[in-house]
Amino acid sequence: MNIRDHYDFLGLAQIKNVIMHLLNGTSAITKMGQVGYDTVSKRMYVHDGTAPRKLLQENDVAAIGRFRGDFSAAPGTIPAGPTLSGDYWRVTTSGTLTGVTPVANLEIGDVLVARIDSPTSGADFFSIQGNLSATSQKFLATFAGNDSAIQFPITHGKATRDLAVQVWNSTGSTWQAEGFTLLMPDVNTVIVVFSAPPLSTETFRVIII
């Protein structure tokens, strides 16, 4: 077969039975406008003046952003098998995948997404927190003094004591946080305890995270 470096097809209505230059990789595609077929990735490339760019095929487009199934993060290794940028997995077993951002400690319900084609390490993925539940949502409550009570129970229903609790005296234009202590008698209740009964004209805002 005779192979020529340059052809001028201007003025021709159609080109038939053309086989593109078959290459082992893309390193030989160096000039703007140069086209080649990489036999390794089995994809067509064209140089745009900066670098060889892959031309998407029909099966590439269909695969973008495809759900790849359940993923166990327990072994600490990246998903196996051919992977394209945008492929994603749902974490079903928690674990740590070093290099993944913004969170490497993956929990059940999180989503792991590939940043690039053919990833080789955790740095080639990013995570999306998908396991947010009532435990991680902000809880708000208000109450008012009654001139007699010093304890005001707040039921939040988060089933944990691992919480951040803030109480504000919201009576005036400038809120204040002073004059009380907090008790947690169980995993679903916080009790705001004052040293003296708040007045019936005072209102309070409770924020629990």
Q: What is the pLDDT of residues 61-105, one digit of tens each?
A: 555 578 899 999 999 999 998 888 889 999 988 888 999 988 788
Give the pTM. 0.41
What does the alpha-carbon distance between residue 126 and residue 112 come to, in Å, rounded to a whole number? 6
Per-residue tokens: 159: 């089933």
- Bridge partners, 126 (sequence order): 101, 113
Mean predicted lDDT score pLDDT of the chain: 84
**pLDDT the model gives residue 7:** 59
Sequence spans of domains, the chain: 1-55, 63-128, 134-208
**pLDDT the model gives residue 149:** 95
pLDDT digits (tens, 9 = 90+) for 32-67: 888 888 888 888 889 888 888 887 776 665 555 788
What does the alpha-carbon distance between residue 169 and residue 123 come to, in Å, rounded to a whole number? 46
Q: What is the Cα 98 distance to its own chain's centre?
A: 15
- Separation in Å, CA 55 to CA 9, 52, 108, 117: 21, 10, 36, 14
**pLDDT the model gives residue 10:** 56
The dotted CATH code for 134-208 is 2.60.40
Q: What is the Cα 66 distance to its own chain's centre?
A: 15
Per-residue tokens: 148: 């007699």
Q: What is the Cα 157 distance to its own chain's centre?
A: 27
**pLDDT the model gives residue 134:** 47
